[in-house]
Structure 1
Amino acid sequence: MTSGSPAPGEPRQQALVAALLALTSYSDVPFDLDSHAALVLRHAVSVVPGSALSIEMPDADGALETVAASSAAAASFAAHPAHASGPSTAAYTSGDAVSVTDLSAAASAWPQQRSPATDAGFHALYAAPMRQGLTIRGVLVFYRSDASPFTATDCTYAQALADTAAIALIAHQTVADQKILVDQLQHAFTTRLIIEQAKGFLAGHLDIDCDAAFTILRDHARSHSARLHDIAREVMRTHTWPPKDT
């Protein structure tokens, strides 16, 4: 090999790196599962060549459902009732990848898959659980229509893509949760601030201490079935007592 020549497998390595970077990139655009799934499908073509793909995630009842597929055949196979008790569910519940080299074989461990696999035109299957630690977020299921088996490299790359997709999902959810928490804290701070301002105004207006001012605000809110911070906001808006709109 001459100096500077690409090493065997390098294009796939570059494709995997590109997929990892794309899936773990963040922006100000709100996270969207459909867009995330589309990104996984787009990169899977280069990471595991010659494969169709479905992405399956649990619904509210914990049963896997297809959220995206790279082809109509993959979507049809994944939606078949027999698929629910097949390799993808086994991979999801166990957290271990499941490989089937011949879906049509009479001795297959998944006989219920034979007819729908034949109808869809698939020969081999590899189900890679989307793992982040002990948490399983779903399954990436790769299909092949010919007898070429999934190699060890195929399986390694497929699992890397699946795990990165899971990590990205959890990271995006963490960011979303943090934003919700920040918004809640900001709301709490703003609410507390307006109440403190109203207490200070009322204490000076009535020549009483702040504790007594707070009691008056609270009792007024209760007697009018109003929220305390709404009463406080009205006091500061009008600088009058009692508030005109209550």
Structure 2
Amino acid sequence: MTAREELIADAFVQLADTLVAEFDVLDFLHVLVERAVELLDADAGGIMLADQRGGLEVMAASSHEVHLVELFELQNEEGPCLEAFRSGLAVTRPDPAAMRVSWPAFTERLEEAGFASAQAVPMRLRDEVVGALNVFRVTPGALSDSDMKLARALADIATISLLQERSMRARDRLAEQLQGALNSRVLIEQAKGVLAERGGLEVGQAFRALRDHARRSGTPLAEVASAVVHGRLRLGR
């Protein structure tokens, strides 16, 4: 087995392992983004999930800039992630010209962020689409066929894992958990701002500080963020 094959196998094992007492949806989604960027010919990535009303929300991103690009995509209702979610199909374009035809405003914003290519795959099991995985490249052109297949496989195993968790805990329980994750996302953004202002950290460093503390202490990200926002915890350089 090659080193890349070992990385792929490890990623699938990690994404399939949701049978834990305190399954953290946000951390799981960030792991999915990290593995996608690591294994694909990609430079960044993000995930959108459907909320209880069927709308999409940005739930994970590999950087603050990517998070802003994803928000722009939602606000302007234009881009590959939305298209993948609505169609249930993988979405890509061969070059920037084709991207500008399909998504003119999104492509302009993407290029401002330093990227020249974007594609997305649905997080789907049969007829149920729960979200989409977006990957970005700084070089133009679509992912190779083999990388697109791997992206779909990563999204599929993540979707199966999420739905398996839901079936174990009951449908309403996971819907509540996903909504809770969305609410936690707001709290985490506030905590990142606090750390950026008071702790002298960049936005990306602020999130890593929150996540590292959560993992070391065994505390959910939302609780760490709440402690930072309310002054009960100080993190810095």
Same fold (TM over 0.5): yes
1:152 corresponds to: 145
> What SS does the aligned partner of 1:175 have?
helix
User: Kindly, what percent of the aligned residue pairs are identical?
Assistant: 27
Amino acid at match of 2:170: D
- Map of 2:112 onto structure 1: 119
Distance 2:76 2:119 in 1: 13
Q: TM-score, normalised by structure 2?
A: 0.65
Deviation at 1:168, TM superposition (A): 0.5
Q: Which residue of 1 aligns with 2:205?
A: none
Q: 2: distance between equivalents of 1:161 and 1:76?
A: 23
Distance 2:3 2:150 in 1: 12
Measured after TM superposition, the shift of residue 104 of structure 1 is 5.8
Q: Which runs of 5+ in 1 are unaligned?
A: 1-5, 181-246
**CA distance in structure 2 between the partners assigned to 1:105 and 1:161 by the alignment:** 26
Partner of 1:132: 125
SS of match in other structure, 1:100: coil
Cα distance in 2 for residues equivalent to 1:85 and 1:45: 22
Taking the aligned partners of 1:164 and 1:127, their CA distance within structure 2 comes to 15
- Aligned-pair Cα RMSD in Å: 2.2
2:84 matched residue in structure 1: 91
Q: Give 3-state SS (helix, strand or coil) of 2:123's partner.
A: strand
Deviation at 1:63, TM superposition (A): 1.8
Aligned to 1:206: none
Q: Does structure 2 conserve the Cα–Cα contact (< 8 Å) formed by 1:20 and 1:164?
A: yes
**How many angstroms apart in 1 are the aligned matches of 2:11 and 2:66?**
21
Q: Unaligned stretches of 5+ in structure 2?
A: 174-237
Give the counterpart of 2:54 among 62, 66, 78. Answer: 62
1:77 aligns with 2:69: yes
Structure showing greater Rg: 1
Corresponding position: 1:102 with 2:107 = no
Amino acid at match of 2:90: A
Following superposition, the deviation at residue 85 of structure 1 comes to 2.5
For 1:97 and 1:83, the matched residues in 2 are separated by 20
Q: Which position in structure 2 is the counterpart of 1:174?
A: 167
Counterpart Cα distance in 2 of 1:153 and 1:95:
19
Structure 1 residue 148: deviation in Å?
Answer: 4.8
**Amino acid across the alignment from 1:150:** L
Length-normalised TM-score, structure 1: 0.63
Conserved 8 A contact 1:82-1:112: no
The one of the two structures with greater contact order (alpha-carbon pairs below 8 A, sep at least 6) is: 2
Distance 2:99 2:135 in 1: 21
Determine helix, strand or coil for the equivalent of 1:126.
strand
Number of matched residues?
171
